[in-house]
Amino acid sequence: MPDAVSRLILASASPRRLDLLARIGVVPDAVDPADINESPLAAEIPRLHVQRLAAAKAAAVAARHPGEIILAADTVVAAGRRILPKADDEGTAHKCLTLLSGRRHRVLTAVTVIDAAGTARHRLSDTIVAFKPLTAAEIAAYLRTNEWQGKAGGYAIQGRAEAFVRFLSGSHSGVIGLPLFETRALLLTAGIPLG
C-alpha cells in the first residue's frame, strides 16, 4: 500500500487534463510537465507511439519525484496508421481537418500511473470518431476560432468542433485528453482515495 502522504504529481501542463481530473474530484498536489521528445519512431504505429510516450513522460517525472504518485497521459489522432500532428500553425490544422472531413479516425489516449513504490500501470483509451463532410467555409470558420492551436489532429472536441462529430464510439473524455474511467481505476489502484 502506498504511503498515505504520497503526493500526486500530474506530468502534464494541459489545462484540459486538470479540468477533467476535477470532474472526478482529483486535484494534483503539483504539476510537473515532462519534457521529452514526442516524435514518432520510424514505422511506429499510433497505439505503440501513444503508449510509449505516456510511459516515458511518467518515468521522466518519477525520476524527479521519488516516492510520489505520478500521472501521465498522451493523446494522438490517427487516420489509419498515420499519426496526425499537433497543429502548431493554421496550415497544419487545415491539412488535418481536410483529411478528417467525412471520415472516421481514432483518438488514442494512453495513461500511465506510477505508484509510490515505483510500480507503473498503464491503460489505453481507443475512441472512434467520425466527422461529417466539412465544407471549405466550415473549415475556414473553425480555423478562425484558434481552438485548434496545439491540439492533436487540429481540433478540440470540447469546443466548436464537437458540431462536426456525427459518430463517436468510446470515451469522450479520452478524446479531450484524459479518459476518466481508465484514469480513475489507475488512481484507485495507486492508493488515491476517490469517492
How much is the CA Rg of the chain, to the nearest whole Å?
17
Dig out the grid coordinates for 19 from the structure: 479540468
Transcribe 31-46 into DSSP letters.
E-------PPPTT--H
- Cross-strand bridge partners of residue 8: 69
Q: How many Å apart are CA 77 and CA 83, to the nearest integer?
A: 6
Q: Which residues are catalytic?
A: 74
What is the torsion angle, in degrees rounded to the nearest 10, for the CA atoms of residue 58, residue 62, residue 68 and residue 69? Answer: 10
Residue 85: φ, ψ to 5°: -80, 165
Phi-psi region of 163 (alpha: psi -120 to 50; beta: other; left: phi over 0): alpha
Q: How many Å apart are CA 145 and CA 141, to the nearest integer?
A: 7
